[in-house]
Copies of this chain bind each other. A is one copy, B any other.
Amino acid sequence: MNIVELIRKKRDGGSFSSKEVDYLIKEYTGGKIKDYQFSALLMAILLRGMNKNETSALTYSMLHSGNIINLSLLNGYKVDKHSTGGVGDKTSLIIAPIVASTGIYVPMISGRGLGHTGGTLDKLESIPGFKTDLTLAESKKVLKKCGAVLIGQTKEIAPADKMIYALRDVTATVESIPLITASIMSKKLAEGIDGLVLDIKTGNGAFMKSLKDANELANSLVDTAKSFDKKVIAFITDMNQPLGNYIGNWLEVYESVKVLKGEAKNDLYVLSIKLAGAMIFLGKKAKSMQQGEQIAKNKIENGEAFNKFLNIVELQGGNSDLINNPGKYPRSRFLKKLKSTHNGFINKFNTYQIGMASLELGAGRRKMDDIIDPKAGIILHKKIGDEIKKGETVCELHSDSQSKIKIAEQMISDSISFSKSKPSKQKLIKKIIR
């Protein structure tokens, strides 16, 4: 095998054998295939595609570039959830404790925010003391003790993915369904899970803008998971508005706590129950997804889910006092309420732009080494379909910088459109694929 021949093969529309894929990943991670060769290959893959077998083989080789966490000593099903990300998407913080409280193990490896999207690790780290960089040994201990652990990608997990993602990022080769599939699945499979629930976001705040692309990615992920004999259910869900009402790291922890305490029953609650229900079903603690959802609701009502969250926070070194008494958390120096200039209804959001406004306020990062302000963000008082009167508050902006609030205010004003009549409701869950 020869790298130039293999690039030519893909360039001309050919398909790789599993052996060829494995050669490519081994030689690239081993430094024998150069970056400039691998990036040409990535572009050929992006433009020519990969079939199911190639995608599965790519996932396999990337997975085996590192270690698979051995959880066989834990007696019980291990199930995780992965979301493709968006604005205000904080379901992991709610789902992990719900599902763990049913006796299913949730070994969750998450990422950081970049651009308009937030990241679970950044949200958790807004809790003072919360450690997401546990070693694998420490993670296993937490998992054994409380049934869930929320950590970042370690060096041992799919190192090929790290290398390849860094190259894709600077060569405009991110937006490829097979490459996205292998990147997600190689990390998720490394968790040693039995089942996986996928939340594929679609809409103007998602990476997959169109339902068609979301469908394609969902099917690719489901096919790949099945090829590894994993139980899988994929949800395609709406990201044409932020999920829930809070955007920004601590603000999202705060909203998660409200949902876990049964104090908020908004779209965030609805989706969290759906996803948790599916996980409980895959973890064999329910006979159907519906029954799983009922169990999830009960875990919120009887307080077990919230207690489990406190438990996780404590075991990962976080200050649980602030979870019990969120009023003690420091506030941003400035708060600006954005008032409506219209009578009518909220008709549309430019969700991407709202995510970027949140970044502007200090809640996000443009580059991976930017510093985040955990307090900063946005609270939406109104969402699509809500009636609003002139002078009523649309949203609140939180930041330590007045000038940032000014920029974000303009961005958000431009991102909200109003209508005179009530717009038709968008479905939150667009499709379930299994």
- Using CB atoms and an 8 Å cutoff, list the residues of chain A in contact with chain B: 4-5, 7-8, 11, 34-44, 46-48, 167, 170-173
From B35, B41, B42, B48, contact of A35 by CB (8 A)? B35
Across the interface, do A4 and B170 meet the contact criterion of CB distance under 8 Å? yes
Closest to A4 in B: B172
The distance from the CB of A50 to the nearest CB of chain B, in whole angstroms, is 15
A171 to B7, CA, bound (A): 7
Across the interface, do B170 and A36 meet the contact criterion of CB distance under 8 Å? yes
Across the interface, do B4 and A40 meet the contact criterion of CB distance under 8 Å? no
Closest to A11 in B: B172
The distance from the CB of A208 to the nearest CB of chain B, in whole angstroms, is 16
Contacts of A41 in B (CB 8 A): 43
A11 to B47, CA, bound (A): 8
| Besides A4-B172, A7-B172, A40-B43, 7 new A-B residue pairs in contact (Cβ under 8 A), listed by A number | A8-B172, A11-B47, A11-B172, A36-B36, A40-B172, A41-B43, A44-B47
Q: List 6 A-B contacts (CB under 8 A).
A: A7-B43, A36-B170, A36-B171, A40-B43, A40-B173, A43-B44
From B5, B35, B40, B43, contact of A11 by CB (8 A)? B43
A173 to B7, CA, bound (A): 9
Across the interface, do A37 and B4 meet the contact criterion of CB distance under 8 Å? no
Across the interface, do B42 and A40 meet the contact criterion of CB distance under 8 Å? yes
A35 to B38, CA, bound (A): 11
A4 to B171, CA, bound (A): 6
Closest to A167 in B: B36
Contacts of A48 in B (CB 8 A): 47
A46 to B43, CA, bound (A): 10
Residue with the greatest number of chain B CB neighbours at <10 A, chosen from A39, A41, A43, A44: A43
Contacts of A37 in B (CB 8 A): 39, 170-171
A40 to B37, CA, bound (A): 8
A161 to B38, CA, bound (A): 22
Closest to A42 in B: B40
A171 to B2, CA, bound (A): 11
The distance from the CB of A246 to the nearest CB of chain B, in whole angstroms, is 32
Closest to A35 in B: B36
Closest to A13 in B: B47
A8 to B43, CA, bound (A): 10
Contacts of A5 in B (CB 8 A): 172
The distance from the CB of A10 to the nearest CB of chain B, in whole angstroms, is 9
Contacts of A42 in B (CB 8 A): 40
A6 to B46, CA, bound (A): 16
From B38, B44, B47, contact of A36 by CB (8 A)? B38
A172 to B172, CA, bound (A): 19
Residue with the greatest number of chain B CB neighbours at <10 A, chosen from A44, A167, A172: A172
From B8, B39, B46, B47, contact of A39 by CB (8 A)? B39
